[in-house]
Copies of this chain bind each other. A is one copy, B any other.
Amino acid sequence: MTQRIEFQTQPDRYRHWKLKLDGEVAELVMDVDESASLFEGYQLKRNSYDLGVDIELADAVQRLRFEHPEVKVVVLRSGKEGIFCAGANIRMLAGSTHAHKVNFCKFTNETRNGIEDASSNSGQKYMCAIRGTAAGGGYELALATDHIVLADDGNSSVALPELPLLAVLPGTGGLTRVTDKRKVRRDLADAFCTVEEGVKGARAVKWRLVDQAVPTSKFDAAVKEAAGKLAAASDRPGGDAQGIALTPLNGKIEADAVTYSCVKVEIDRTTRRATVTIQGPGEPPPATAEAMWEQGALFWPLRLARELDDAILNLRLNEGEIGVLIFKSQGDPAQVLAYDAFLDANKGHWLAREILHYWKRVLKRIDLTSRSLVALIEPGSCFAGTLAEIALACDRSFMLIGARAGDNRPPATLALSGLNFGSYPMSNGLTRLATRFLGEPESVDKARAETGKMLDAEASEELGLVTAAFDPIDWDDEVRIFLEERSSFSADGLTGMEANLRFAGPETMETKIFGRLTAWQNWIFQRPNAAGAEGALKRYGTGVKASFNPERV
């Protein structure tokens, strides 16, 4: 699996999904092309999926938000007879590296969270109409929606058969959503997760696994009725609102660099570092929401978010040996603040709302990236408002005091906008500033009082907004020492440490999925009972039973 994975796609290139648009209610139909797997060596039978299928789903979910403000409800269904979705493809999992399995699961979890984000924040409600079997990741997909209708036809069922079949967990949020979203009683959840064939009909309703079980004759009507109810509760524009086109990103890909319009990724393979440089806006924000809409995908905050998102995914999946991401920026911080003010003033407009929620998701994607993150805040940079949030997402941030000899760019500043105080909650439900200052909440108020000001390095350090400020004499050594030290540590140890230190305070369903569930799954993905030569993943479908070490740890 060394080929480059491409995250950009569009509906006319989909192999696995059909997006059917018809006014307020859209259908997203899963109809996997079994021969169109992302890698060699397996076929996507029974509507099973691999990362390629999920990249299309993520694209569809994203386009529905930006391109289709008229859509209030999305109905997920299968395009195949007798099967809804068999979940993640097992041969793909069995043949994948540990790193690919882990990153595949992370991406699918982010896609499911994205569906829930659309439901919660964009008035674009998802529901699921299940005919046939929804097993494993198939049921996990259903769990991400607001309403599950199951055909009561003696055949259709929901199941989480991972443990009995594969000796792994339903790790795409499955266990957490069963207990914390569907709130299934724990012993019933235990029973459910051990029954290969799943649960059907009335029992599935009684166990809280689905919302409705409906006979075949009434199925379509029930789905339509449920969709109508969800649409009625939506605050989505609907009607003849016009979306914007998410045009291709056209990043230029070279061996050691990816260059977009306002993001550049430069990779140093010797030191295993990537520098992500963000370019601030070249012009002031438009005067009106209408003008923003006309700019569409070229509107700077949206363009940057899309490019940054793609860059991060590319680093995660295609650049596994790059251990440190260095964030830099270039531009006019006042302009960045002007865009923030524009978005804040227009947040009642559906498109501004989408952009703000998209930035929230991109920033969460950064939080959840298992690489060491450092922001270097230097002269000429523009870590202001939304871009300051990137520095706050980093494990460390260093800021240069004053100017280097011969450099006539303005000294580094950091600036906060209103968006730093609530628009971009982390997975734990808190802002990055609130998480940062959990032990001294008064520091959040002190920072708020400086909103809109250009803070120099010493002021930023004093306010606790950066890890350290260094003068030009010390800067190079301090940064070098930090980077070299980071490279000397174990990659796994860093991953575990960062996953713990980044999420202080409250836990949510999201943090439980990425913390508790994912960590246990990653552990299991290492264990011989699952991944060994005689383990369940390898033995699946061979006719030979897996051989288990019975020892409990």
- Is A499 touching B516 in the complex (CB atoms < 8 A)? yes
- Is A552 touching B322 in the complex (CB atoms < 8 A)? yes
- Is A321 touching B551 in the complex (CB atoms < 8 A)? yes
A365, chain B: closest CB distance, angstroms: 15
- Is A320 touching B552 in the complex (CB atoms < 8 A)? yes
Question: For residue A102, which residues in chain B have a CB less than 8 angstroms away from its CB?
Answer: 553
Q: Known: A397-B187, A439-B183. Is A193-B496 also a contact (CB below 8 A)?
A: no
Within 8 A of B (CB), among A491-547: 491-507, 511-512, 515-517, 519-524, 526-527, 529-530, 535-536, 546
Question: For residue A546, which residues in chain B have a CB less than 8 angstroms away from its CB?
Answer: 490
Q: Does A188 contact B (CB under 8 A)?
A: yes
A360, chain B: closest CB distance, angstroms: 19
Q: Does A99 contact B (CB under 8 A)?
A: yes
Within 8 A of B (CB), among A429-488: 435-440, 464, 467, 485-488
Q: Does A175 contact B (CB under 8 A)?
A: yes
A169, chain B: closest CB distance, angstroms: 5
- Is B550 touching A272 in the complex (CB atoms < 8 A)? yes
Question: For residue A503, which residues in chain B have a CB less than 8 angstroms away from its CB?
Answer: 179, 516
- Is B188 touching A467 in the complex (CB atoms < 8 A)? yes
Separation of A309 and B411 alpha carbons in the complex (Å): 63
Q: Does A21 contact B (CB under 8 A)?
A: no
Question: For residue A553, which residues in chain B have a CB less than 8 angstroms away from its CB?
Answer: 98-99, 102-103, 320, 370, 491-492, 495, 522
- Is B500 touching A520 in the complex (CB atoms < 8 A)? yes
Could you give, for residues 338-382 of chain A, a 1 whenever the CB lies within 8 Å of some chain B CB and a 0 otherwise?
A: 000000000000000000000000000000001100000000000
Separation of A435 and B438 alpha carbons in the complex (Å): 27
Q: Does A91 contact B (CB under 8 A)?
A: no
| The 10 residue pairs across chains A and B that have the minimum distance between CB atoms | A183-B439, A519-B519, A507-B507, A167-B490, A179-B504, A515-B516, A496-B520, A99-B553, A490-B529, A175-B500
- Cβ contacts A to B, 10 pairs, < 8 Å: A99-B551, A163-B490, A163-B494, A179-B501, A180-B504, A183-B438, A187-B395, A190-B498, A491-B549, A516-B516
